[in-house]
Structure formats: C-alpha cells, structure tokens
Chains A and B, each alone.
Chain A
Amino acid sequence: QSVLTQPPSASGTPGQRVTISCSGNSSNIEGNYVSWYQQVPGTAPKLLIHRNNQRPSGVPDRFSGSKSGTSASLAISGLRSEDEADYYCEAWDNSVSGPVFGGGTKLTVL
C-alpha cells in the first residue's frame, strides 16, 4: 500500500487533456514539494515535474503540475501516443525522513 494515493488508471484520446491526481497528508504533500515521474515499462523512471510545477529542460510544456493542500495533480494536454506510460507522484515525507511515492497511474492513449 503506497503512502500517496493515485488512481490506478487513466485514459484519453490523442489531442485530449488528461489529469492524474495524487493525494497525501500533512506529513508529505502539504508541507513539501511534489515531483512527478514518467516510466515506460521496462525502463527507468524519468523526472517530469519538480517543485510542484517546474519542468526540467527537455520536458514539453504539455506537461504541467499543481498542488493545493494535501493534493497534487499532473496535467497532460495535447495527448500523444508516446505519452502512454506509468506516472508516479512523489513527495518528501517528514515522518519517514525520505521520499514517498504514489502507487502509479497507468495512462492509456486510446
């Protein structure tokens, strides 16, 4: 059971906008930054969003992040087939003294 809660699946058609939610508590999301990672099965995770809404260089601006209180979300606009992957949220947890992850959301592009 993951510390952060994500929906197990999400889907959309090419060009659509989809959002993935991530729920935590006062020990993790509320007081700390949230990051998002993309993982294509069989490969290592890739950082998509850091500090709630910042994109590393090279990440398209179709990806955006937001945070409010104990929840965060990842939005993907202009959905493309290559966006099909697993997405994980992550935040520092003060009680664990380490990062905690969501269970992952499998995004399917129909």
Chain B
Amino acid sequence: EVQLVQSGGGLVQPGGSLRLSCAASGFTFNNYWMHWVRQSPGKGLVWVSRINYDGSITKYADYVKGRFTISRDNAKNTLYLKLNSLIAEDTGVYYCARVEVGALDHWGQGTLVTVSS
C-alpha cells in the first residue's frame, strides 16, 4: 500500500524556519517525482514546489522562491521541505504528493504550519 506520512509542522514566529518531512513507503520512491502543495485556512490548493527522481531538478512557485528548499533522501525514502523567512501568509496545511499518470495520485495526510508571534 502506498503511504506518505508527514511530520514536522508546528507554530513558528515570523522570520523563523521549519523543516517538513514526508516518509514514503509501499512503492519505489526514487522512481517518482514529488510535489508539495499548500492549503491556507479555508482556501484552495496552491502548488509550492516539485523535485525529480534524484533531486537534480527542483522548481518553486514564485511566492516561495529563495525562501523554501525542496530536497529528498532516496536512501531514507523521505521528501523534505525547508521553510525559511516565514511570513504569516505561509500559514496553512502542507501536503506532499506523488506524481503518477501526470497527476498527484497519492497525498500525505498534511501537516499544519502556523506562522504567528
């Protein structure tokens, strides 16, 4: 069974940092591109970042470029998102998701990030 189990969210002050993790199981992790998607409270889904099979290609939405870093450790079957210089607008639930058949076919359970003083 494909599983994506997330961890690492929490409350952080403006300007602070956080690292999110997404542990994959039930499939060959290094065969898949992975994405992060954010959902602000009461709002819709917004794409954050993506990474290719071996981590050599990464891409970011303009609003997080230079502040967030996506990475992966294929030996640990884990995807990461490092969030720096956090602002209130970064508050939301962050989901990791796997890409298959050109869509996000499996999602993590989500992890809440709250940026507040």
Q: A residues within 8 Å of B by Cβ?
A: 2, 33, 35, 37, 39, 43-47, 50-51, 54, 56, 88, 90, 92, 96-104
8 smallest A-B Cβ distances: which pairs?
A: A50-B103, A35-B103, A44-B107, A104-B44, A101-B45, A103-B44, A98-B47, A50-B101
Whether, in the assembled complex, B92 has its beta carbon less than 8 Å from a beta carbon of chain A, the answer is no
- In the assembled complex, which residues on chain B have CB atoms less than 8 Å from the CB atom of A101? 44-47
- In the assembled complex, which residues on chain B have CB atoms less than 8 Å from the CB atom of A46? 107
- In the assembled complex, which residues on chain B have CB atoms less than 8 Å from the CB atom of A56? 101, 105
With A45-B45, A51-B103, A101-B45 already in contact, 8 other A-B pairs whose C-beta atoms are closer than 8 Å? A2-B44, A2-B46, A45-B107, A50-B105, A90-B103, A96-B47, A98-B61, A100-B47
- Residues A33 and B103 in contact in the complex (CB < 8 Å), given A44-B110, A101-B45, A101-B46: yes
Are B101 and A51 touching (Cβ within 8 A)? Answer: yes
Shortest beta-carbon distance from B33 to chain A in Å: 11
Determine the distance from Cα of A98 to Cα of B47 in the docked complex, in whole angstroms.
Answer: 7
Determine the distance from Cα of A2 to Cα of B44 in the docked complex, in whole angstroms.
Answer: 8
Whether, in the assembled complex, B108 has its beta carbon less than 8 Å from a beta carbon of chain A, the answer is yes
- In the assembled complex, which residues on chain A have CB atoms less than 8 Å from the CB atom of B109? 43-44
Are A44 and B103 touching (Cβ within 8 A)? Answer: no
Determine the distance from Cα of A104 to Cα of B45 in the docked complex, in whole angstroms.
Answer: 8
Whether, in the assembled complex, B104 has its beta carbon less than 8 Å from a beta carbon of chain A, the answer is yes
Binary per-residue interface labels of chain B (54-68) against chain A in the complex, 1 for a CB within 8 Å, 0 otherwise: 000001010000000
Q: List 10 A-B contacts (CB under 8 A).
A: A37-B45, A44-B110, A50-B102, A51-B101, A56-B101, A97-B59, A98-B59, A99-B47, A101-B45, A104-B44
Determine the distance from Cα of A37 to Cα of B59 in the docked complex, in whole angstroms.
Answer: 22
Determine the distance from Cα of A96 to Cα of B46 in the docked complex, in whole angstroms.
Answer: 12
Whether, in the assembled complex, B29 has its beta carbon less than 8 Å from a beta carbon of chain A, the answer is no
Determine the distance from Cα of A96 to Cα of B48 in the docked complex, in whole angstroms.
Answer: 11
- In the assembled complex, which residues on chain B have CB atoms less than 8 Å from the CB atom of A44? 95, 107-110
Neighbour of B35 across the interface among A35, A99, A100, A104, CB < 8 A? A99
Binary per-residue interface labels of chain B (22-59) against chain A in the complex, 1 for a CB within 8 Å, 0 otherwise: 00000000000001000000001111011000000001
Determine the distance from Cα of A102 to Cα of B61 in the docked complex, in whole angstroms.
Answer: 16
